[in-house]
Amino acid sequence: MNVRFTFGTVVSEIYIEESIHTIHAIIGSDSSCLLVCDENTAGIAASIADTGRIQVGAVQSRLRLCGTCVLPAGEAAKNWTNIETILKAAKDAGLGRDGVFIGVGGGVITDMTAFAASVYMRGAKLVLVSTTLLGMVDAAVGGKTGFDLFDIKNFAGTFYPSPLIIMPLDTLSTLPLREWKSGFAELIKTAILDSDDDFLDRIGRLKDTFVSPYFPVNVLRDEVSRRELLACIAKSVEIKGRIVEADPKETGSRRALLNLGHTFGHALEAAVGLGSLTHGEAVAWGIARACELGRSLGITETERAEKIIQLLDSFGYETRAPHPSMKETGRFMDALFNDKKKKSDMLSFIVPERRGCVAIAIEKKEIKRIIHIINGEVM
């Protein structure tokens, strides 16, 4: 299954495939390649290195692998030091500006590999192999790259869409349950953006199958569940891709919709310390806050807000305010004002409306409303 988008000047081709061994690539045969992975995905990277090729169906690309760069796993590793490690590995492997960076991993690895490629000799080639649900439904698609700086998530970054993104479904079989759930939060987010409610209901129906102690091996073995998972990932990729096509660099109003739950979520992540919550846990909590903000402004109907929050609850996300891990609001508010969604003195939030979502701007003087929301106070 493949889909193709045009993000600005780059055509991005995405393969959602069942196996790493059935994937095709558009890598030039004379290009030097560097594999970038973390401790968790080193095995997948090694299997690519072993065969020395990436293929799908009839088309097969032989890779001229020149090196592998293995980084520590986790959000705490998403820093300049590790970007420099990638750049150094590429230099030592002898990559020229026609060299290919192949990022193999979740959002942290694909964001960092893509950033490194975007600044390596002012821009090298890039392939992403997304190995987590979060990466597949969100991080790997759309060209945002970056790393954390000054305790702010993705504070430094570029727009650098990958011409080729590979999503091998079988890599999900070893994903820990918490990471799996983290991905579902972004899937729910995308479904809320969709103008028709079916996608949200569909995710609700899948919950029992996918978020259970029996996951993931059983689910991926079962042909029906597997096909439904593939379809949900594909639908999420499709929705996100079309939004990004309309506004690739978030200069208009379309792409900002994808930030639903993220203004609150990023600030929560920073307030409790980057890496202590998964991105999905923070986003799920942020979506709940966005629902309440929308309700307080008369934009989100109570019924819709309750439906969304109930779905989040059923996945076991923390949706209560204040968040139990957040000791005081000071750091949260600091992080909020450092957020990239800020334009001048306005804070931008996405809130659900009857169908889909809408962007709203909150002025600094209205900030009490936000404090009430994060503290769970009735207004």
Active site residues: 122, 144, 186, 240, 250, 254, 259, 262, 266, 279
| Gap between the Cα atoms of 149 and 146, Å rounded | 9
Site residues (CB under 8 A) for a copy of itself, limited to 70-99: 80, 84, 87-88, 91, 94, 96-98
| Gap between the Cα atoms of 372 and 379, Å rounded | 7
Contact 179, 132 (CB under 8 A): yes
Site residues (CB under 8 A) for a copy of itself, limited to 172-231: none
Among 52, 123, 273, 316, which residue interacts with a copy of itself (rule: CB under 8 A)? 123
The least distance separating a copy of itself from the CB of residue 149, rounded to whole angstroms, comes to 7
Q: By C-beta, is 135 or 157 nearer to a copy of itself?
A: 157
Q: By C-beta, is 1 or 76 nearer to a copy of itself?
A: 76
Q: By C-beta, is 30 or 328 nearer to a copy of itself?
A: 30
Binding mask 27-66 for a copy of itself (x = CB under 8 A): ---xxx----------------------------------
| Gap between the Cα atoms of 130 and 134, Å rounded | 9
Contact 125, 101 (CB under 8 A): yes
The least distance separating a copy of itself from the CB of residue 233, rounded to whole angstroms, comes to 25
- SS3 per residue for 262-304: HHHHHHHHHHHCCCCCCHHHHHHHHHHHHHHHHHHCCCCCHHH
Looking at the DSSP bridge assignments, the partners of residue 347 are 362
Amino acid making up residue 349: F
| Gap between the Cα atoms of 189 and 356, Å rounded | 10
Is residue 146 a contact residue for a copy of itself (CB under 8 A)? yes
From 40-48, 112-120, 166-174, 292-300, span contacting a copy of itself (CB under 8 A):
112-120
The least distance separating a copy of itself from the CB of residue 309, rounded to whole angstroms, comes to 30
Distance of CA 328 to the CA centre of its chain: 27
Is residue 121 a contact residue for a copy of itself (CB under 8 A)? yes
Contact 124, 32 (CB under 8 A): no
- How crowded is residue 98: how many other Cβ atoms within 10 Å of its Cβ? 12
In this structure, are strands 32-38 and 100-105 parallel, antiparallel, or unpaired?
parallel
From the list 360, 333, 365, 366, the residue with the least C-alpha distance to 348 is: 360
Give φ, ψ of 261 to 5 degrees: 80, -10
Is residue 262 a contact residue for a copy of itself (CB under 8 A)? no
Site residues (CB under 8 A) for a copy of itself, limited to 343-372: 343-344
Q: By C-beta, is 80 or 214 nearer to a copy of itself?
A: 80
From 40-48, 70-78, 141-149, 206-214, span contacting a copy of itself (CB under 8 A):
141-149
Among 8, 74, 204, 275, which residue interacts with a copy of itself (rule: CB under 8 A)? 8
Q: By C-beta, is 266 or 289 nearer to a copy of itself?
A: 266
Q: By C-beta, is 95 or 191 nearer to a copy of itself?
A: 95
| Gap between the Cα atoms of 17 and 1, Å rounded | 6
Looking at the DSSP bridge assignments, the partners of residue 234 are none
39: its two tokens: 């401790």
How many residues belong to the site for a copy of itself (CB under 8 A)? 40
> What residues line the site for a copy of itself (CB under 8 A)?
8-9, 30-32, 80, 84, 87-88, 91, 94, 96-98, 118-123, 144-146, 149-150, 152, 154-159, 249-250, 337-338, 340, 342-344
